[in-house]
Amino acid sequence: MHELSLIQGLMNRLEEVVKENKAKRVKSIWLKVGPLSGAEPQLLKEAFNFFSKDGIAAGAELHIDSPLVTLKCDKCGAEAQREYFTLSCTECGAGLPISDGSEALMLEQLELEME
């Protein structure tokens, strides 16, 4: 699973942002992880716990926003919000388009503790 490499990449990025802002440490992190991003929120959290034992993000809080995907059926018009993406309409069985944001893998926001 590549969640470990993703978090390693995140850690490098945190180092940069802390330095740029002359901050002391990272307090909170907000990620957005879509259902079709290829990454699992739970595995990301576990990887984060592993890599944040010490250093600038020690004790930081990781918030993961896994957006619900709104799917609208072209055929019958039924709308459904789903955490996990499915391929067909539960009402009529027609194929559903995949909505924007379902592939998101974003570092949205940080809270830094300053000197």
Partner 1 sequence: MCDTCGCAITDDVLEEKILTVELLEDLMLENNRQAESNRQHLDKEGVFCINLMSSPGSGKTTLLERTIDALSGKVKIGVIEGDLETENDAQRIRAKGAPAFQITTGTACHLDAKMVHRGLHHLPLNELDLVFIENIGNLVCPAAYALGEHINVTLLAVTEGDDKAMKYPVIFRAADMVIITKTDLLPYCDFDVQKAEKSIKLLNPKAQVLMLGKGDEKGLDEWIDFCAKKIVK
| 71 lines the binding site for Zn ion (CB under 5 A) | no
Select 1 or 76, whichever has its Cβ closest to Zn ion.
Answer: 76
| 94 lines the binding site for Zn ion (CB under 5 A) | yes
In the complex, least distance from residue 40 CB atom to partner 1, rounded to whole angstroms: 10
- Residue 77 interacting partner from partner 1, Zn ion, none (CB closer than 5 to 8 Å by kind): none
Select 13 or 72, whichever has its Cβ closest to partner 1.
Answer: 13
Q: Do the Cβ atoms of 44 and 6 come closer than 8 Å?
A: yes
DSSP track, 33-102: E-TTSS--HHHHHHHHHHHTSSSTTTT-EEEEE-PPEEEE-TTT--EEEESS--SB-TTT--B-PPPTTT
Return residues touching Zn ion (CB under 5 A): 73, 75-76, 78, 89, 91-92, 94
